[in-house]
Amino acid sequence: MKVHTVTRTKGGSKQYLCTACHEPILPGQKYHHWTPYRSTTRQRHVSCGYPRPTELSNSKIAVVDEAVQDLDLSGNVEDMKAALEGLASTAEEVASEYNDSADGIESHFPSGNPTSEACRNVAEALESWAQELQSWDPDDREEDDDEDDYLDACRESAQELVGNKPEYEG
């Protein structure tokens, strides 16, 4: 979805409210505007930040995209493991939603449907990815490794795993 960034002009009588702070967007202020599928146009001050993935899409996978965006891999290895486990939990919840959707579609189309197959495929991919996230274990630290270098290598390894997030292909 395309998000436009514009500056409010003095003309026009329509008043826009920011979806984040609920304050009016005044002439001269920069703001983002976008229109989700089958919904009304939304506006947000640039100072209130870019719209979140769940605001831009009705897709279930947007919840995972948002969790990836919010992922904090700072701290020690245990903090990274906890963050990845939280992300894995979100992925499992979304996979369950995709399986529920596939069940609903198949109850109405018992002979099969490409959409239900796509839902099952993304659910399986999310479940597999969640297992990989939960089983992440960094390489053992060698005695001569600097602590910061080791943590950077762990972050890089974790980020690479996060980057393998499956996409919905339906």
* Average pLDDT value over all residues in the chain: 89
Q: Which two tokens stand for residue 35?
A: 């229109």
Res. 170 pLDDT band, cuts 50 70 90: low
Strand order from edge to edge, sheet including 30-34? 4-7, 30-34, 42-45
Residue pLDDT, tens place only, 27-75: 889 999 999 888 889 999 999 999 988 888 888 899 999 999 999 999 8
Average pLDDT over residues 80-102: 95
Q: Answer left, alpha or beta for residue 38, where phi above 0 means left and psi between -120 and 50 means alpha.
A: left
Confidence (pTM): 0.79
Q: Which two tokens stand for residue 116?
A: 């239900």
Res. 169 pLDDT band, cuts 50 70 90: low
Res. 144 pLDDT band, cuts 50 70 90: low
Q: Is the pLDDT of residue 17 over 80?
A: yes
